[in-house]
Amino acid sequence: MNTLTSDEAEGSDGIYKNGNGRDKISPLKEVYSEQSPIGDKTLYQTISLPHNVGCEKTQYRTQYLTTLIVTIGGFIMGTTLGWTSPAGPMMENGQYGFQITDNDVSWIASCMPLGAMLGCPFVGSLVNKLGRKRLMIILTVPALFGWEMIIYANSVAIICVGRILTGFASGSYSVIVPQYTSEIANKEIRGTLGTYFQLQVFSGILFTYVLGSYLDLFGLSIACAIVPVVYLCLMFLVPESPIFYLSKGNIAQARLSLKYFRRPFGQVDQELNAMHESLAKTEREKIPVMEAFKTTPAKRGLYLGLGVMVFMQFTGCNTVIFYATTIFNATGSSISSNASTVIVGIMAVLSTYVSTLVVDKWGRKILLLYSVVAMGICTFFIGGFFYAKDHNYDVSSIGFIPLLSLCVFIILFSVGFGPIPWMLMGEIFPAQIKGIASSIVCMANWFFVFLATKFFTSLVALIYLYNTFWLYTLVCILGTFFVIFIVPETKGKTLEEIQLLLSA
């Protein structure tokens, strides 16, 4: 058994040295070799932790708090997404001091997902070099510059550049935050913590809906710009992921990080040893990246990740987010459009919070199934309302249908297809290609967002609003079959067990 002798000490870099100052655990290749401490399963003692409910709640408290801080990156993304809904009418009313047309607003909305597409490969290429925490801090820079350009813009082009920058930060957070969350979480609460990202996204959207009802365009944009500043300050309070430290061979810092996340229990050796074994196995079995993508788990994970993102976007979610105010103006409802969008935002936040409570109890697959079926029913009824309205039927007595249907849509979307695709992205990919694969899926997702938002008005002009929503219903039907026959259940499984499930 390898143990530290009396003349061995831990260096400041986290590498153990003997009395002569020579590394006991030196280069990364040695760390991951069969003879290294990582390969030695007896290096750390197996320690059993208490499992009563009270202890578990105390143990998970730090993970909940850290995840709430880190997922403010999702809140930043939410403010970027939601800004267009209240800001669109303000821009058209001349609050910038120069003319902005309906087509300009469409491009301003669409620039955000284009910027997000650029952010995904940026993060994928640097996340294993710079670390998760450092990158999340760096990303506040383009977010702040983007909002500054939006606030002081003197042309549509400047607004679009600002939207690209804020979108760049948002797309980057959509890759890195779920990855960090999955790496720090116990498997018992990994699903719950995974839903916090979407909870923060909808909270950010609600933030813009509420403030957009009371503030002018300048005040709304200033409020959105404050959020990255708060995030920057809070991020210095959380540690780096233990997985990142282990990948760099810094065992001492990995232990300190894991102890932080497993408070108040100081014994983390059993879990750290398991992480060592997993990384050592990954290093031993490492193959060229292109060959790694040809493995069955990688191909199935990529197909699954792209599939859930397709159904997330083309069931009408971002149409509701970007154009909520416009949709309610078209209904002729007695409820003001601002009040309607705030109601939708509140429902989204509350229902996503419900998802955090049930996702590790009910499972991912059943929530996705309930979600897609309900969304299909809602879009069918919305399409029916607009069909009746466009064909001159009296709809005054059923003006509540768009609000009710959109609220139910958002509720069920927020429980299933809102948070779970982001959560799955942190679970389904092999460790060697997780960064690249997550970037590919996120890029595809933001491309789908661009298509869904930029061409929504063109689609409505071509096939009318009611047929557009019925098209969403058709997509929901296809999504139902996808969930039933393709999506596996990952509840309660470790990341290695999920890879075995995908390789079966």
User: Is the pLDDT confidence value at 11 over 70?
Assistant: no
User: 194 and 113 in contact (C-beta within 8 Å)?
Assistant: no
Q: How confident is the model over 33-48, as a mean pLDDT?
A: 39
At 464, is the secondary structure helix, strand, or coil? helix
Tens digit of each residue's pLDDT (9 = 90 or more) over 337-388? 678 778 778 888 888 888 888 888 888 899 999 999 999 998 999 889 889 9
At 47 the three-state DSSP class reads coil
Task: Summarize pLDDT for 286-338 with one digit per residue, the tens.
Answer: 777 788 788 888 889 999 999 999 999 898 886 765 566 656 666 666 667 67
Q: What residues contact residue 103 under an 8 Å CB cut-off, 6+ apart? A: none
| DSSP label of 238 | S
How far is 447 from 234, CA to CA, in rounded Å?
31
Q: Looking at residue 223, what is its pLDDT?
A: 97
Q: Distance between CA 468 and CA 474 in Å, rounded?
A: 10
Please classify residue 473 by burial: count the beta carbons closer than 10 Å to its beta carbon, then call 0-12 exposed, 13-18 middle and 19+ buried: buried
**What are residue 23's DSSP bridge partners?**
17
d(CA 111, CA 168): 10
In percent, the amount of the chain with pLDDT more than 70 equals 84
**pLDDT digits over 422-461, tens only?**
888 878 887 778 778 888 998 998 898 888 877 877 888 8
HSE (CB half, 13 Å, CA atoms) of 91? 26
Strand, helix or coil at 16? Answer: strand
Identify the H or E element spanning 289: helix 289-292
Distance CA 112, CA 170 (A): 8
User: 366, 397, 47, 69: which is closest to 232 by C-alpha?
Assistant: 69
